[in-house]
Structure 1
Amino acid sequence: MATALQTAERRDVGRSPEACAAARRWVREVTQAWQCPDDQAADVALVLTELAANAMQHALPPCRAVLELRDDRTVVVTVLDGGPAPTALPQRDADEHGRGLTLVGGLSTDSGRRSAAPPFRVGAYAAVPVPAALMADVRSR
């Protein structure tokens, strides 16, 4: 991920049940402004939702989402959190959980975790490819 950054957007993510839906709406607004095709915008929204849901389930607050449009035709989705929670929230139904990171891996060219600056401790990231046609310089917008 050593490619040049074109632009970035940040948003704090709450821990309420509505937080992921609000984050998806924000992703749609940002990716529309970046002229990202609907298919790739949906991929970015799904990746953000999965990373944010993991942070809500397994990490301490605060939680912040970052979208970065990079020169290598990727949108890097990062969710920063306060580090591992002493105990994770209980899972409701095992059939509905445990596939999020598999989805993230399937939609991204790179993903992982890295340390973050305070007040955050950890950042989970995924690089989602976007078509070359999108790569008009968005800095002038």
Structure 2
Amino acid sequence: MIAFTGLRTALPVLFGSHVVWRGFLRSKECPRQSRKFVVSLLGIWGAESEACEWGALVVTELATNACVHTHSPVIQVVAARFRGVGYLAVVDDGPAPRKNPWAGVSAADDAVSGRGLQLVSAFSASSGRFRFGSGSLFWASHPLRD
């Protein structure tokens, strides 16, 4: 994750000291571990239960997508808070998906998967994707109480 090194330097400058990141091995346990990490961190920050539920949903969906759609050996989870807003991101080092997952392709009504990014978008104040090198950073934001 060479490109992530630059992000690790830039994020504290953008958000101040309230930036925490942790790497998880890409495995079936990664989404659960990511969720536990984010919910614990939001609790430490004094977030209300709604924000903790949002964080659990978002990081689970984003970490699952990174595990399923990339070959990254490590999935990075980033959490930040700034001026009453919480930010979550999941960073992978690719290969990036060939199709833009934010393009609004809908899953079939009876599908059991394929709605993760739609859920992230629907439950977040804002969300998006940045590409760097062969990797991607998917992020979402939600209001937090300070």
Name the TM-score, length of structure 2 as normaliser.
0.74
The code of the aligned residue for 1:84 comes to P
3-state SS of the aligned residue for 1:49?
helix
CA apart distance, 1:64:
0.2
Structure 1 residue 97 corresponds to structure 2 residue 113: yes
The code of the aligned residue for 1:127 comes to S
CA apart distance, 1:85:
5.9
The code of the aligned residue for 2:61 comes to E
The percent identity for this pair of structures is: 30
Unmatched segments (≥5 aa) in structure 2: 1-13, 99-109
Unmatched segments (≥5 aa) in structure 1: 88-93, 136-141
Residues 13 and 64, structure 1, Cα contact 8 Å, conserved in 2: yes
Question: Aligned-residue CA RMSD in angstroms?
Answer: 2.2
Q: Structure 1 residues 129, 83: closer, same or farther in 2, change over 3 A?
A: same
Count of residues in correspondence between the two structures? 121
Structure 1 residue 65 corresponds to structure 2 residue 81: no
Name the TM-score, length of structure 1 as normaliser.
0.76
Give distance in 2, aligned partners of 1:76 and 1:35.
Answer: 15
Moved over 3 A (4+): 3-6
**Could you list the per-position Cα deviations for residues 26-62 of structure 1 after superposition, in whole angstroms to 9, with x for gaps in the alignment?**
1121011100011111101110111111111111213
3-state SS of the aligned residue for 2:25?
coil
Paired position in structure 1 for 2:65: 54
Residues 60 and 85, structure 1, Cα contact 8 Å, conserved in 2: no
